[in-house]
């Protein structure tokens, strides 16, 4: 029984029993691209698929689906709370935990369909080589994304429906041959690092794609997009762009679950995930905390523990 079939069966039963209003999953678009799908009717569930191009982090749509008023789509509060089901990979399931810990919606509003993930292919979510900066050669066999090569958890941490088989060995072993770019960067001198990052941030066009793709970026008005701010510039000068990227990384400290969606959607190919991974590392060293492993608030919103 394929994962696709299992997801479709579960989605159909959830929609037919009116347990959820919407199932968020993946479908194949008209040009052969795997893309997010929103299923409202039981007869539409055949659109749902599961393959190794399911790269999107669907938890980003949850706030909009479950609380349309807070996300600005509805003027008035609804009488009955909405319910939704979402298909998650192991990494996305950690985002569910972070969102729940931050009280964006109630646990009862959500049905998590957790899928055991064998890794997502590089170039997923794109059509051919039409992207502006990045060029993916048609690799055969297809390469896994860098985040999947680093990933050691294949099983979702939170789920209501579990699809797939628990792997006998937790570590897939894929990650061993990955060149650790983080270590390379940290071995550099401060001046070299400044030059590296300035050359990266220089390409930024402030399109905010990284922010839009991030399930944790949920401010109704982004601090970095306010024209009345006194200390955060909206310009595309190097200083402002650096502040934007560092500030965004800092806002995600202790919350980023490392899905690397920001880096994938970046049209200018800026290695944003390096900043996030450095902070994940730091938060784990200082606070012993890994975002999304349990439904607990991140360290920055709590008081010091020795009190």
Shortest Å, Cβ 193 to another protein: 4
Quickly tell me which residue has 């696709």 as its tokens. 4
Quickly tell me which residue has 């964006």 as its tokens. 104
- Give the alpha-carbon dihedral of 136, 142, 146, 148, to 10 degrees: 150
* Residue with Cβ nearer another protein (80 or 191): 191
Enumerate residues 236-275 that contact another protein by CB under 8 A.
Answer: 237-240, 242-243, 246-247, 249-250, 253, 275
Shortest Å, Cβ 136 to another protein: 28
Q: Per residue in 217-251, is it b (16+ CB within 10 Å) or e — as a string?
A: bbeeebebeeeeeeeeeeeeeeebbbbbbeebbeb
Shortest Å, Cβ 205 to another protein: 15
Q: What is the DSSP letter of 254?
A: T
Tokens, residue 271: 């290695």
Angle in degrees, CA 163, 167, 171, rounded to 5: 130
Enumerate residues 182-241 that contact another protein by CB under 8 A.
Answer: 185-186, 190-198, 223, 230-233, 235, 237-240
Task: Please work out the total of residues on this chain that contact another protein, with binding judged by CB under 8 A.
Answer: 40
Enumerate residues 150-189 that contact another protein by CB under 8 A.
Answer: 185-186
Shortest Å, Cβ 100 to another protein: 22
Q: In a 10 Å sphere around its CB, with 0-12 CB exposed, 13-18 middle and 19+ buried, how is residue 10 labelled?
A: buried
* Residue with Cβ nearer another protein (150 or 242): 242
Shortest Å, Cβ 226 to another protein: 11
Shortest Å, Cβ 217 to another protein: 15
- Sign of the C-alpha dihedral computed for residues 26, 273, 93 and 4 taken in this order: positive
End-to-end CA distance of the chain: 53
One symbol per residue from 275 to 294: x for binding another protein (CB under 8 A), - otherwise; what is it? x--xx--xx--xx-------
* Residue with Cβ nearer another protein (174 or 232): 232
Chain centre distance of CA 279 = 16
Is residue 259 within 8 Å of residue 277, measured between CB atoms? no
Using CB under 8 A, list all residues that contact another protein: 185-186, 190-198, 223, 230-233, 235, 237-240, 242-243, 246-247, 249-250, 253, 275, 278-279, 282-283, 286-287, 299-300, 303-304, 307
């Amino acid at each position: 029984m394929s994962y696709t079939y299992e997801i479709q069966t579960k989605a159909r039963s959830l929609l037919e029993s009116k347990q959820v209003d919407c199932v968020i999953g993946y479908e194949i678009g008209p040009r052969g691209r795997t893309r997010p799908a929103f299923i409202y009717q039981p007869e539409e569930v055949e659109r749902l698929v599961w393959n190794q191009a399911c790269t999107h982090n669907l938890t980003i749509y949850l706030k909009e689906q479950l609380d349309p008023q807070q996300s600005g789509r509805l003027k008035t509060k609804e009488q009955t709370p909405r319910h939704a089901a979402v298909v998650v990979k192991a990494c996305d399931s950690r985002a569910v935990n972070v969102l729940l810990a931050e009280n964006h919606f109630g646990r009862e509003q959500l049905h998590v369909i957790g899928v055991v993930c064998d890794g997502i292919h590089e170039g997923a979510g794109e059509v051919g080589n039409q992207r502006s900066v990045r060029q993916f050669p048609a690799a055969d066999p297809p390469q896994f994304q860098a985040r999947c090569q680093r990933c050691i958890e294949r099983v979702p941490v939170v789920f209501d429906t579990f699809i797939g088989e628990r792997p006998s060995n937790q570590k897939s072993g894929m990650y061993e041959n990955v060149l650790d770019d983080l270590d390379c960067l940290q071995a550099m001198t401060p001046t070299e690092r400044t030059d590296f990052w300035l050359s990266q941030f220089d390409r930024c066009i402030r399109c905010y794609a990284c922010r839009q793709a991030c399930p944790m970026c949920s401010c109704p008005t982004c601090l970095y997009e306010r024209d009345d701010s006194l200390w955060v510039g909206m310009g595309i000068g190097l200083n402002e762009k650096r502040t934007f990227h560092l500030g965004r990384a800092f806002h995600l400290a202790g919350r980023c679950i490392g899905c690397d969606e920001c880096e994938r959607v970046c049209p200018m190919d800026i290695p944003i995930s390096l900043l996030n991974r450095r902070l994940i590392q730091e938060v784990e060293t200082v606070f012993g905390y890994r975002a999304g492993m349990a439904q607990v608030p991140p360290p920055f919103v709590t008081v010091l523990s020795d009190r």
